[in-house]
């Protein structure tokens, strides 16, 4: 027999799972959350937070060099890799404790261990059975490595934060968010970086002009970015690793980071055994209310493989808790989701790419500005900024906003609110800019470059 009964049993204590559990408990539901990993999921432990902290760290050497143009001088700083790791680990532990407190203060029960679904209303954790009216799978995803010979010699983003020795030469395989971000981060921290991508350009799915512009800026930072190449095998070469490509050439590096994709964490959860339908890559297939093919089992976040962003998982959690325990009025709008890529320089984008806008609306107007930011008139850096607006010609609505440059995410977040509210190009034109700032460029572009 089950030892305890709950209104809601959440499998996974990442951002989405914790938000769902907290909000449900605050509405009076009896809630349990199970996880056998540090609380906070990928975002807190192996993703957004440590990655952003390392991105901050990676800017300091460049900032020191740039400071010379502003009259500063002194000995160049030296990275203490061990200290950076220790400080990051301390902050992550603090966040883990906060997540635990959030759950317990809300009245949710935290169950430590790996959960397995035994039935439509039953879960096992370490030999103890729990019954629940509703079960929610919020287990996230994990990185995968292609089946190359020697693939076991590569590391993933799970291991990159805690390397025992800082790599003098890091080879990154992949062309998505994670690959581009870590290539930029480790280049900024002082490593020689080679990035290999089998596609024709990095950041597939983003605006094409933005993709090409970013690739050029990354190369200017010293990243050896090679597209149209594919890995054949990885071998040990003394104390280093040799990566042989399909064209017969090879690259030797200290570490190989494989950032070629992630898949949902559903293996071993017992889902298919109880009738939950999964997609080809293991994602839980859900309806508009995040309900699986088993009515009492729901899922959200990366495990449903829609949009792999922490704020999206949080929004899905709020919509689901409102559906299960509230007025059922919330819905997640997957249009106009802003996002950023913490490359150097960073990328910020919201809405449609130029290509996607043309496919949807037919006639669009494109406004574009490329320039050297004011800071770099003295810094000596050759970094340039790209800002771009895509406007539906028929309605005058701004349907795409894209940027490559410093603080792109901070700038784009505010414009995302305006676009969500339906802002037109006329509204942008009527808005007074903040001068001198990079952000003002979005409200001062007057002449379209093409239609």
> Under a CB-based contact definition with an 8 Å cutoff, are residues 340 and 346 in contact?
yes
pLDDT in tens, 176-207: 999 999 999 999 999 999 999 999 999 999 99
Q: Catalytic residues, which ones?
A: 435
Residue range 228-233: mean pLDDT, rounded? 97
pLDDT value of residue 88: 98
Q: Where in the chain is the domain with CATH 3.30.390.30?
A: 339-443
CA–CA separation, 60 and 148 (whole Å): 36
Q: What proportion of the chain, given as a percentage, has pLDDT over 90? A: 98
Q: Which CATH architecture has domain 339-443?
A: 2-Layer Sandwich (3.30)
Q: Where in the chain is the domain with CATH 3.50.50.60?
A: 4-142+263-325, 151-260
Query: What are the beta bridge partners of residue 134?
Result: 8
1 pLDDT higher than 90: no
Residue range 289-299: mean pLDDT, rounded? 98
pLDDT band at 212 (very low <50, low <70, confident <90, very high): very high
Which CATH number among 1.20.120.1200, 3.50.50.60, 3.30.470.20, 3.40.50.12280 corresponds to the domain 4-142+263-325?
3.50.50.60
Residue range 290-314: mean pLDDT, rounded? 98
Q: List Cα–Cα distances, 348 to 67, 217, 251, 274, in angstroms.
A: 25, 15, 32, 42
Residue located via tokens 């949080």: 314
2 pLDDT higher than 60: no
H or E stretch at 52: helix 48-67
What is the fold, at CATH topology level, of the domain defined by 151-260?
FAD/NAD(P)-binding domain (3.50.50)
255-258/169-173 β-pairing: parallel
Under DSSP, is residue 89 helix (H, G, I), strand (E, B) or coil? helix
Q: What mean pLDDT, rounded, does the chain reach?
A: 97
What is the 3-class SS of 205-220, one letter each residue? CCCHHHHHHHHHHHHH
140 pLDDT higher than 90: yes
Residue range 327-332: mean pLDDT, rounded? 94
pLDDT in tens, 6-30: 999 999 999 999 999 999 999 999 9
Residue 421 has which token pair? 């509210």
Residues in the chain: 451
Under DSSP, is residue 265 helix (H, G, I), strand (E, B) or coil? coil
pTM: 0.96
Q: Taking the CA of residue 169 as centre, how many other CA atoms within 13 Å lie in the half-sphere pointing to its CB?
A: 11
398-404/262-264 β-pairing: unpaired
> Under a CB-based contact definition with an 8 Å cutoff, are residues 162 and 156 in contact?
no
pLDDT band at 3 (very low <50, low <70, confident <90, very high): low
Q: What angle do CA 318, 323, 324 make, to 5 degrees?
A: 100
């Amino acid at each position: 027999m089950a030892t305890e009964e709950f209104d809601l049993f959440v499998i996974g204590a990442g951002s989405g799972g914790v938000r769902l559990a907290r909000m449900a408990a605050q509405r009076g539901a009896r809630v349990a959350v199970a996880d056998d990993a540090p609380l906070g999921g990928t975002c807190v432990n192996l993703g957004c937070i440590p990655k952003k902290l390392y991105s901050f760290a990676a800017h300091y050497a460049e900032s020191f060099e740039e400071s010379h143009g502003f009259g500063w001088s002194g000995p160049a700083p030296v990275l203490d890799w061990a200290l950076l790791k220790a400080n990051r680990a301390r902050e992550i532990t603090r966040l883990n404790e906060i997540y635990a407190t959030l759950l317990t203060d809300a009245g949710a029960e935290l169950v430590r261990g790996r959960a397995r679904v035994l039935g439509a209303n039953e879960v096992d954790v370490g030999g103890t059975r729990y019954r629940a009216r509703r079960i929610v799978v919020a287990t996230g995803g994990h990185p995968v490595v292609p089946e190359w010979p020697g693939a076991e010699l590569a590391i993933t983003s799970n291991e990159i934060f805690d390397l025992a020795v800082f790599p003098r030469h890091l080879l990154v395989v992949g062309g998505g968010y994670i690959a581009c971000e870590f290539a930029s981060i480790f280049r900024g921290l002082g490593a020689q970086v080679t990035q290999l991508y089998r596609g024709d350009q990095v950041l597939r799915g983003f605006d094409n002009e933005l993709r090409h512009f970013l690739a050029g800026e990354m190369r200017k930072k010293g990243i050896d970015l090679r597209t149209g190449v594919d890995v054949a095998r990885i071998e040990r070469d003394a104390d280093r690793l040799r990566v042989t490509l399909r064209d017969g050439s090879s690259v030797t590096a200290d570490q190989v980071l494989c950032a070629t994709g992630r898949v949902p964490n559903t293996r071993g959860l017992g889902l298919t055994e109880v009738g939950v339908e999964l997609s080809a890559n293991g994602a839980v297939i859900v309806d508009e209310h995040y309900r699986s093919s088993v009515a009492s089992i729901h899922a959200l976040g990366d495990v449903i493989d829609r949009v792999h962003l922490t704020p999206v998982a949080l929004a899905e959690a709020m919509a689901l808790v409102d559906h299960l325990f509230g007025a059922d009025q919330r819905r997640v709008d997957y249009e106009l989701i802003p996002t950023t890529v913490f490359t150097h320089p960073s990328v910020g984008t919201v809405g449609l790419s130029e290509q996607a806008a043309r496919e949807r609306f037919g006639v669009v107007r494109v406004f574009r500005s490329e320039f050297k930011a004011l800071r770099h008139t003295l810094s000596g850096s050759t970094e340039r900024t790209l800002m771009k607006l895509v406007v539906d010609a028929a309605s005058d609505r701004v349907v795409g906003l894209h940027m490559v440059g410093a603080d792109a995410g901070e700038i784009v977040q505010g414009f995302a609110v305006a676009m969500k509210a339906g802002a037109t190009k006329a509204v942008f034109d009527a808005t007074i800019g903040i001068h001198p700032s990079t952000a003002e460029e979005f409200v001062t572009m007057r002449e379209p470059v093409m239609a």
